[in-house]
Amino acid sequence: MGFGGVDSCAEGHVGYFRIARRFEIETGHRLSKHPEKCRFPHGHSRVVEVVLRAEHLDTADMVCDYKALKRVVGRELERYDHAMLLAADDPLRDAFAPFAERVVLMEEGDPTTEVIARHLFEVVRKAFQGGAEVRGDDGAVYRVPEGLTVERVRVWETPLTWAEFVAGD
């Protein structure tokens, strides 16, 4: 039973549950198609927010365990943190060869905040298919419940600006 003795998952109840997790990373990037300063290498302190949605709670009365979400998103963001993001076809990409260990090439285009948000959305969506399993560092297994959807991924480029990719209907 939920608040006030009402089962929030009862037959006929209209609505859904959402959970969110934020992550912080430091990235550099260069926008090869930009007409002004952003065409030069520069960096951002980014915040990434992932929102999951479900109409029903799982057997543990959760949308999804936060540890599973942290594991999947954290694994991908490890590649980005303190890395230089470049378009795979950036004409100056060879200039960054000495730093190849921390260069991430974006096949989707220039590493704009919009492109990053869409890329992360797809990574999370693929990992969170119903029935999939996510293994924690300690070996714990988290099963992704059926009916779970990735609602959106929002990426802040600055404290005042963000872009997001939202699931289609």
Q: What pTM did the predictor assign?
A: 0.88
**pLDDT tens readout for residues 120-165:** 999 999 999 888 899 988 899 998 988 999 999 999 999 999 999 9
What Å distances lie between residue 58 and 9, 14, 73, 76, 130, CA to CA?
11, 17, 20, 25, 11
Give dist(CA 11, CA 137) in Å, integer: 37
**Segments making up each domain of the chain, as ranges:** 14-150
**pLDDT tens readout for residues 36-64:** 999 999 999 999 999 999 999 998 999 99
Does CATH number 3.40.50.300 belong to domain 14-150? no
